[in-house]
């Protein structure tokens, strides 16, 4: 009985930007839990490569080419997915970018691009998929937040602003849509071992040493560490969890860190 709470068989899950990294890992986790997988990207080449990678994992994924910030394209593709694959039961708003630029050097165009992709994109996706979920009176939406939803860090002002806003959008959507049996929650990853972080994940690198010493778990997260959180928030097991941000960070946000003499 308890294991059946996490079974996603018969559910259709759309994970935006799930062509690599953490998005791909979460998407694969949902598929292995039984969900029918749908992914999107703005690059046909990345979509094709990702679908082949999923096949190597034994997963059949449907790919759709559109920009999550383009509302007409979202409307058209949501309708297309519902017609070709079926109703979307689970949405993970994973697509996002970061620009590491000090505030005084950041152009307004860079600021607005980050907010558009990381905050307005999830709003547009949730709005149009949520409309269908409201009609069916069922659905799961997961927004990919960040530790920067809670704390700041040098050079990531736009990203932190967007992720802080995404946390509050998550809570507000949960408040509005809970009466329709829709659960809206977030996942906030810590620092993970991905291809992007590979160059700095070496012994002796200052940032590598900082992350290991700053994280109570004393390691980087592995991409599979996000799968349990994604499956839980997508499944019946979380039917009374709403407006919650689940931080998967090895304990960083729970700790002030080690003193210099420890």
How far, in Å, are 22, 143, 243 from residue 28 at the CA level? 10, 17, 24
Do 61 and 39 form a contact (C-beta atoms < 8 A)?
yes
Active site residues per annotation? 159
Q: Exposed (0-12), middle (13-18) or buried (19+): which is 235, by Cβ within 10 Å?
A: buried
Residue indicated by tokens 């068989």? 9
Do 64 and 81 form a contact (C-beta atoms < 8 A)?
yes
Q: Exposed (0-12), middle (13-18) or buried (19+): which is 198, by Cβ within 10 Å?
A: exposed
* Cross-strand bridge partners of residue 182: 139
Structure tokens at 1: 């009985």
| Long-range contacts from 145-151, C-beta under 8 angstroms, 24+ separation | 145/170, 145/186, 145/187, 145/188, 145/245, 146/188, 146/189, 147/188, 147/189, 147/190, 147/247, 147/249, 147/252, 147/253, 149/186, 149/188, 149/245, 150/188, 150/247, 150/253, 151/253
């Amino acid at each position: 009985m308890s294991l059946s709470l996490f079974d996603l068989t018969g559910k259709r899950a759309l994970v935006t930007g799930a062509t690599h990294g953490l998005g791909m890992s979460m998407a694969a986790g949902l598929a292995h839990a039984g969900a029918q997988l749908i992914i999107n990207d703005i690059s046909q080449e990345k979509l094709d490569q990702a679908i082949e990678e999923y096949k190597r994992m034994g997963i059949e994924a449907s790919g759709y080419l559109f920009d999550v910030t383009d509302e007409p394209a979202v409307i058209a593709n949501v309708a297309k997915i519902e017609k070709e694959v079926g109703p979307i039961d689970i949405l993970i708003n994973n697509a996002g970018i970061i620009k590491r630029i000090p505030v005084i050097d950041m152009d307004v165009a860079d600021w607005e691009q980050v907010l558009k992709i990381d905050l307005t994109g999830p709003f547009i996706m949730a709005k149009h998929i949520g409309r269908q979920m409201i009609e069916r009176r069922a659905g799961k939406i997961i927004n990919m937040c960040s530790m920067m939803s809670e704390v700041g860090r040098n050079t990531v002002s736009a990203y932190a602003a967007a992720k802080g806003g995404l946390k509050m959008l998550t809570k507000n959507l949960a408040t509005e849509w809970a009466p329709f049996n829709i659960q809206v929650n977030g996942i906030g990853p810590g620092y993970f071992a991905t291809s992007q972080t590979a160059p700095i994940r070496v012994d002796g690198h200052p940032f590598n040493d900082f992350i290991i010493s700053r994280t109570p778990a004393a390691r980087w997260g592995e991409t599979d560490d996000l799968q349990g959180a994604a499956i839980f928030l997508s499944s019946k097991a979380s039917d009374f969890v709403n407006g919650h941000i689940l931080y998967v960070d090895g304990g960083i946000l729970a700790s002030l860190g080690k003193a210099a003499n420890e």
